[in-house]
Amino acid sequence: MESVWAIISTFRPDEDLLSAFDSIANQVAGVVVVDDASGADSSAILSALAERGAVVESFTENSGIAAALNRGYELALQHGASKILSFDQDSHIDGDYARNILAAYDAATAQGHRVGLVVPEHFADVRQAYTEMADGTLLAKNIIQSGMLVDTEVLRALGPLRDDFFIDLVDTEFELRARSRGYLTIAAPGIALAHQLGRQYARLLLGRPVRLPGLPPVTTFSTPFRYFYRMRNRIILNRLYLRSAPGQILRDTVIDLLHFVNALLVARPRGAFARVLRAGVNAGFNRRMGRMPSAVAELAARVTWNAPLVESGVHGADPRSTR
């Protein structure tokens, strides 16, 4: 019998998490919430989730989103899950979401496909599907784990998420690993998951707004510390998957490098941010994984973006996972 569970990773959540949980809980057999060492300020919200029926576990040390999701997978498996949906703490889903994701999985397997991961066709304003097979199955890439479905047998075959990545490109690595082992990552047609992809700033060149055909007038910057992980994990990811997915790796690397340059131009103090990026490069080439060094975190904490803020992050967004 099918037993679909959901897992939610949290970090310093606010009360918006309760309504997000409610939107998910009535569509699945159970929900696991793993909190990544938010501290005492979040204890009341986590207790309220437990009273609503969630399986709640809190880390005593901040370990990163991959570690939190891995623990969620373990607990869901212990409760007999046959399929697992993963979500960020600010993910609200409509009443047919789980049913539609499962329908996409069933349709693709009925066509004889070896399905690894299933994601919504649209995540925020990003279309995760990139091509359609002859039988109508949508293939996805560059996926975001929030809203993703994985069959537990596939999860056992692939192994856990790379918790040594800590954060950033965790979902991309999992997608590429699945593909390298013969599994498809598919998109559920017409399904969307709303989300705020970081904070949006006016795109500037030499201090002036850039408005060119085909180029959005805004760009999205993450919190500065995230760029250490993005740089380091990009180097590790390229080393692992350049041969199996050269087109995607090369394209994504170019996009990342352009974004790093853009961020460097608006970072203040620019020298501190350059040192954060350099630390990421050094860690990548020397395979130093896990949490960033405290000295680098202190550097990143000094950095701000010298660009006009267009749109702030959505209420309830997880500061670890805002993209």
| Percentage of the chain modeled with pLDDT above 90 | 82
| Percentage of the chain modeled with pLDDT above 70 | 89
Mean pLDDT, the chain, integer = 91
Distance between CA 166 and CA 47 in Å, rounded? 26
pLDDT tens by residue, 247-284 = 999 999 999 999 999 899 999 999 999 999 999 999 99
Kindly provide the b/e burial profile for residues 104-125, where b requires at least 16 CB atoms within 10 angstroms of the residue's own CB: bbebbeeeebebbbbbbbbbbe
Most distant CA pair in the chain, distance: 60
Torsion of CA 281, 284, 286, 288, to 10 degrees: 120
Phi, psi of 118 (to 5 degrees): -130, 130
The pLDDT assigned to 151 comes to: 98
The pLDDT assigned to 206 comes to: 57
Domains of the chain, by residue range, sit at 4-193, 204-306
pLDDT tens by residue, 129-184 = 999 999 999 999 999 999 999 999 999 999 999 999 999 999 999 999 999 999 99
Torsion of CA 99, 69, 17, 13, to 10 degrees: -170
Distance between CA 159 and CA 43 in Å, rounded? 31
pLDDT tens by residue, 69-128 = 999 999 999 999 999 999 999 999 999 999 999 999 999 999 999 999 999 999 988 899
The pLDDT assigned to 33 comes to: 98
> In this model, does residue 314 exceed pLDDT 60?
no
CATH code of 4-193, in short, is 3.90.550.10
Q: Do the beta carbons of residue 291 and residue 166 sit within 8 Å? A: yes
> In this model, does residue 61 exceed pLDDT 50?
yes
The pLDDT assigned to 211 comes to: 63
Interval 45-53 mean pLDDT: 98
> In this model, does residue 192 exceed pLDDT 60?
yes
The SS3 call for residue 43 is: helix
The SS3 call for residue 64 is: coil
Distance between CA 223 and CA 225 in Å, rounded? 6
Distance between CA 148 and CA 119 in Å, rounded? 5
Helix (DSSP H) and strand (DSSP E) numbers for the chain: 10, 17
Phi, psi of 228 (to 5 degrees): -60, -50
Residue scoring higher pLDDT (260 or 314): 260
Pair type for strands 55-58 and 129-132: unpaired
Q: Do the beta carbons of residue 54 and residue 151 sit within 8 Å? A: no
pTM: 0.91
CB neighbours of residue 44 within 10 Å = 9
> In this model, does residue 313 exceed pLDDT 70?
no
| pLDDT band (50, 70, 90) for residue 208 | low
Tokens of 169: 């490109």
Phi, psi of 12 (to 5 degrees): 50, 55
Q: What is the DSSP-derived secondary structure letter of residue 261?
A: H
Closest CA to 252 of 240, 262, 237: 237
